Every structure is written in C-alpha cells, then in structure tokens.
Amino acid sequence: MTHLYALTAHAAHALLARKEISARELLDAVYARIDAVDGAVHSYVLLMREAAYAAADAVDARLAAGEAIGPLDGIPLALKDILCTTGVRTTCCSRILENFIPPYDAAVVERLRAAGVIPVGKTNMDEFAMGSSTENSAFGPSHNPWDLARVPGGSSGGSASAMGADEALIAIGTDTGGSIRQPAAYCGVVGLKPTYGRVSRYGLIAFASSLDQIGPITKDVRDAALVMNAIAGPDPRDSTCLPEPAPDCTALLGRDITGMRVGVPRELFSQEGVTVAPGVEAAVRAAIALLERLGAVVEECSLPHARFSLPTYYIIAPAEASSNLARYDGVEFGYRAPGARDTVTMMTDTRDQGFGAEVKRRIMLGTYALSSGFYDAFYLKASQVRTLIRRDFEQAFETFDVLVSPTAPTVAFPLGAKVDDPIQMYLNDICTIPINMAGIPAISVPCGDDRGLPVGLHLMAAHWQEPKLLQVAHAYEQAAGWTRKAVEEAGRVTIAG
C-alpha cells in the first residue's frame, strides 16, 4: 500500500474528495515523513506547522459541510525560501537575510493559498539562487535522497529533494539557468520552467530579473499542470507578466502525439568542453525512440548559437545580480555588520560578512561587465548574442512542436566534487541555460537511470506553449511508466526505513 506522503497531488485529491482521508491526516503523514528523514536530507530550513494545521482544519471543515474542494485543496507544499511569505522568515539561504520577515506574500504564494494549498515549510537552496548543487546555502547543503553522498542539484535543491524523499506532495522552485529542471532530473522528479512572463515574479527575491521564473517541481506531469493552473496568469504588479489569461494546462493531457514533430538539437548533446555521459545519453536516446513509437516524427536539428549560451549567461545574469543585490547594504533591512566607524565601512563589512563566496564572485563579475569602458564589450555584446540564441529557437519551432535533449550532461555528482571549481559547476547547466536565454518553457521528466541514479529527459516548446509541452511530457511519462514506478515504491530511497 502506498503511504499517504508518497501520493501524487491528484491521487490525494481523489481520496480527500471521497472523504477517505482528511487534510489533517495527510498533513500528519507528511510531517511524520519530514521528522523521519529530513535530518539526513535537509530539504527544509524552516517548518510552518501551526499555520499548516490551521489551513488543513479549514479544508476539513469545508469537506464536513459538504462543500466541493478544488484539485489542490489540502495538498501539502514545499516552498523555496526565495518567495516572500507574510510574517514568515524568508532568507534566500543567505546570512544577509537571516532574520528578514516579509510583510506580504509573493503573488505565487497568494494564488496557492487561494487554491487551498498548505505550505508546510521553506526549502533549502543555493544562496540567492546562485548555484547548481545547493552547496552554497548558508545553512548547509541538501542531500540527494537517491544517494545521500551526492548533491540534489540547485539552486532549487531543497524543493527537488523534498519531492524525491516524499517530504511534500508538490513543491515550488525558481529557474534562472536551470534551477528547477536540473535538480528535478537529479532527484528523479518532474520540474517545469514556464515561459518567461507566464507566472508573476512579484514577491520573488530577484537574482537576474530578465531570466528568473517560478515553476512547479512535482512527482508527475499531471501535478505540474495542476500547479501551473493555480499560479499562472496576469498580475499588474509585475510589468513583465503576460496580461492575457493563462490556458488550462491540463487541457491536452491524455491526447496522443501521433504526427507531432520532435527536434533533437545536436548542440545540446555535445559542446566544446562538455560531453554527455554515455549512460545519460543512452537513457535519453531510448526515451526519444519511445516518442517515435508513440507516433512522433523525430529529426535531428541545429541551434547554432546554443554553444554561446554559457558565456552569455555568465555576463547577463551576474550583471543583473550586481544591480539587484546592491540593495543589501545594511541600511534598511537585513543584516548589519556591528561596530563600523562610518557608513562606508558599515556597508562594506555588511556585504563582506553577509554574502557567501559564490554570491561575491557573481557580484564582482557583474560589476566588472557593467563598468565604464567594458559595458559595450561585454554586456551589450552578450545581449546581442542572446537575441541570436532566441532566434535559433524561434526558427526551430517553425518546423518542430517540441525539442528534446538531456536535462543535464551527467547524473548527480558527489558532494564537494565541484565546489572548488566554478567552471565545472557552471557546466552542469549547459543543456538548460539556452532555454532561459530564449525565455521559452521547458520540462524535465524522469526517463531512466545511469548506474542507479535518475536521468532527466528535457523537453522544450515555443513561447506560451505549456499545454503542448505538457501533452508530450505526459504521453511519454504514461508510456514509459518510470515516474509512476518511482512514486509508487514508497521507501525506495536511501534514507527510507
């Protein structure tokens, strides 16, 4: 029998709607799981038990009164600690915000609460979302539930490991260069980065404002679609948010994919300095073959400027980070260094003591790229290359419905293996960063394993085509059965008793 904590959100909803379980019982099971395993996994940096039980009791009261409940009512959620929560500490896993308590909810949090979702806690992450392993957290790393000696990915490693370890039924992450999809791949779960502008960024503590996007990390594709239905849509508080209503992301689930054209970009399988591991490529090629058997028409294609994505990203993202993080100066909120003799020293000491090494590295990179005499050579040139990358994708989608690649070139690597080599760490995102450059939606779906560790299949679609993307991902998932098998095997991971 599947434990309650191992259920998908839609399976739990069916039990709640039939009154076979209560929202409190479901929450009890999740917190018991957290208490049992999070000491080893460290998905969470803060739990919200009192508020969570109050919310669960409200759902149960509505059920007792005979009211119908929505698809996410009573569903326990793991929330990345980069989204503001009223009266609840929000730190970005940085010492500089260690005691910051926001006076408002992020738009995504508002919408999830309105949908009846129950946040159980805030999850661990790389500081200010800068990292690919969750080792940059000021509160210590998270661990991969498939092998505790390995990273869960990053920067949304806490949310992904919470899903992989069944410490919630759904989770929210953010994705600036792959931070939803890469950890989802490493932890054997589903991660969706929506089109830039599909989900409001209001209340998201910014890293790189032209790249950041919020999305779901879940146990299967249907749950990702349900979460998207709750969080997507216009918001006048975010000027980059699309003003038109979002489509129903579940509308195309279950439809076959016969005749759909699938492109396989050669540049996302091999680039200078990076080769996809043989076991990862074998799992992804097998998944592509399954898409063909499902009726898709598969053809190799090219994204000629994709090979410039990594250097382009590491000019644009740090430049925007340098600007966004200038507000953390010890004056208005956050940490303030004690004992400074003047304002300049106070600001310098605050930033030196409050920021970790990776954040400092990216601020310096970004400040240099924006400095006088270098702006045209670096930031302006990178912006022009970004346009070329985006045009490559637009041209590809004139021919193809979706593109496919590995989500990451390898499976999860050991903790500490790359923490002292920034370049090797950055190369983990070689397959995901081009998507953020283009602003298109993409999803990672489990597609097998390499030596017992999960591999992710990366699917991409044109701007605003989340329903089509989810249709193909769901068709693959249902035919492959890999995700369902993983979800149903309660206690499957290393940390399980």
What residues are labeled active site?
Answer: 80, 155, 179
Report the interhelical angle of 309-324 vs 381-396 (nearest 10°): 120
Structure token pair of residue 17? 């709607």
Structure token pair of residue 221? 């594709």
Torsion angles phi and psi, residue 216, rounded to 5:
-90, 150
Would you call 28 exposed, middle or buried from its count of C-beta atoms within 10 A (0-12, 13-18, 19+)? middle
Q: Which residues partner with 262 through β-bridges?
A: 298, 402
Report CA torsion sign: 77, 231, 359, 101: negative
Structure token pair of residue 286? 């097998």
Q: Which amino acid is at 18?
A: R
Q: Which residues partner with 121 through β-bridges?
A: 47, 78
CA distance 9 to 191: 15
- Omega before residue 210 within 30° of 0, cis: no
Structure token pair of residue 359? 């954040």
Q: How many CA atoms lie within 13 A of 89 on its CB side?
A: 17
CA distance 196 to 240: 8
Structure token pair of residue 163? 């899903």
First to last CA, the chain: 15
Structure token pair of residue 93? 């896993």
Would you call 51 exposed, middle or buried from its count of C-beta atoms within 10 A (0-12, 13-18, 19+)? middle
Q: What is residue 246's DSSP assignment? A: P
Listed in sequence order, the DSSP H helices in 124-233 are: 157-164, 181-187, 221-231
CA distance 157 to 352: 25
CA distance 331 to 434: 37
Contacts of 489 (CB under 8 A, 6+ apart): none
Q: Which amino acid is at 239?
A: S
CA distance 113 to 100: 21
Element (DSSP H or E) covering residue 170: strand 170-175
Cα torsion at 93, 321, 240, 311 (round to 10°)?
-110
